[in-house]
């Protein structure tokens, strides 16, 4: 479903990725672990088309996304890729429901259809009574669940999560772990997660290890 071949990336004289290969199957939760500076987040951003590799190929659903540019790339990303980051990046002036709807509206989907789907997602994630709350009225765990719903609104092929529990206490981190497993089981949602959290990695279908810009056994 997602396949990347021979991914290289350097910043100046620093070689961050040195020929990484990775393959993810539909419905998997795959975690990437490794020490700081191993290249995990750089790889995630390149696979998610937020950054560009110096060399290599990336295929999502057999489409060569490394060849996409400009508006075509932005449209593909919006429709097929979801993101969850360490910090939720919710827009403070909008409600939880509106924050979830925004990617669907950007994709020019019908407003009411998107709103109904957003309500269902927020209910699935235990936020049925928080639809009209703004981010500052939500707990850290609730904000991150809104961010997960936002990542799911366009039914992406894959969700990339970069240290999604890094800003949560242990209780809310555990709830988010369980949520990812629930979404995998109920929606067959695919996740690729960069994490230092060993509990989250243990719940994954597979755990990949990175060291010095390479995948290691």
**CATH number of the domain enclosing 94:** 3.40.50.300
Apex 100 CA angle, 130 and 168, nearest 5: 65
Regarding predicted confidence, which is higher, 148 or 171? 148
Q: What is the mean pLDDT of residues 168-192?
A: 83
Q: Is 64 part of a structural domain of the chain?
A: no
What pLDDT score does 52 carry?
A: 92
Confidence of residue 140 (pLDDT cuts 50, 70, 90): confident
- Can you give the pTM of this predicted structure? 0.87
Whether residue 78 is contained in a domain is answered as yes
- What is the average per-residue pLDDT within 132-148? 91
pLDDT: is 57 or 163 the higher one? 57
| Mean pLDDT confidence for 49-69 | 92
Across the range 177-182, mean pLDDT stands at: 84
pLDDT higher at 217 or 145: 145
Backbone φ and ψ of 102, nearest 5°? -55, -50
Question: In this predicted structure, what is the pLDDT of residue 174?
Answer: 80
Helix orientation angle between 140-152 and 111-124, rounded to the nearest 10 degrees: 130
- Do 28 and 190 touch, CB atoms closer than 8 A? yes
Signed CA dihedral, 178, 174, 84, 34: sign only: negative
Per-residue tokens: 24: 């993810």
Mean pLDDT (the chain, rounded) = 89
Instruction: Provide the pLDDT for residue 137.
Output: 96
Q: 111: buried, middle or exposed (CB in 10 Å: 19+, 13-18, 0-12)?
A: exposed
pLDDT of residue 199: 79
The predicted pLDDT at position 124 comes to 83
Q: Is residue 102 part of a domain?
A: yes
Q: How confident is the model at residue 167 (pLDDT cuts 50, 70, 90)?
A: confident
For residue 1, being part of any structural domain is answered with no
Question: Does a structural domain hold residue 184?
Answer: yes
Identify the weakest region by mean pLDDT among 59-73, 86-100, 189-203. Answer: 189-203
Considering only 8-17, 71-80, 194-203, which range has the smallest mean pLDDT? 194-203
* Number of domains within the chain: 1
Provide the domain limits for residue 186: 25-52+70-216
Within a domain: residue 9? no
What tokens does 33 get? 């672990």
CA 96, chain centre distance (Å): 18
Asked if residue 42 is part of any domain, the answer here is yes
Q: How far is CA 157 from CA 9, 27, 98, in A?
A: 24, 9, 22
Query: Where on the phi/psi map is residue 62: left (φ > 0), alpha (ψ -120 to 50), or beta?
Result: left
User: Residue 59's pLDDT is what?
Assistant: 95
What CA–CA distance (Å, rounded) separates 190 from 23? 12
**What would the pLDDT profile of 22-56 be if each residue is shown by its tens digit?**
999 999 999 999 888 888 999 999 999 989 999 99
- Domain contains 114: yes
């Amino acid at each position: 479903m997602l396949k990347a071949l021979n991914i290289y990336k350097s910043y100046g004289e620093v070689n961050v990725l040195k020929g990484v290969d990775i393959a993810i199957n539909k419905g998997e939760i795959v975690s990437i672990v490794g020490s700081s500076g191993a290249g995990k987040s750089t790889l995630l951003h390149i696979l998610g088309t937020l950054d560009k590799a110096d060399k290599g190929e990336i295929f999502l659903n057999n489409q060569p996304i490394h060849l996409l540019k400009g508006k075509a790339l932005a449209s593909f990303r919006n429709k097929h890729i979801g993101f969850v980051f360490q910090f939720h990046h919710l827009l403070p002036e909008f409600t939880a429901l509106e924050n979830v709807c925004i990617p669907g509206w950007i994709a020019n989907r019908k407003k009411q259809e998107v709103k109904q789907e957003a309500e269902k997602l927020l209910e699935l994630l235990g936020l049925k009574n928080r639809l009209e709350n703004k981010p500052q009225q939500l707990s850290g765990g609730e904000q991150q669940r809104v961010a997960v719903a936002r990542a799911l609104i366009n039914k992406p092929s894959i969700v990339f999560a970069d240290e999604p529990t890094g800003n949560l206490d242990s209780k809310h981190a555990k709830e988010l772990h369980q949520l990812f497993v629930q979404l995998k089981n109920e929606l067959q949602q695919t996740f690729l997660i960069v994490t230092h959290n060993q509990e989250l990695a243990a719940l994954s279908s597979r755990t990949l290890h990175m060291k010095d810009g390479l995948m290691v056994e």
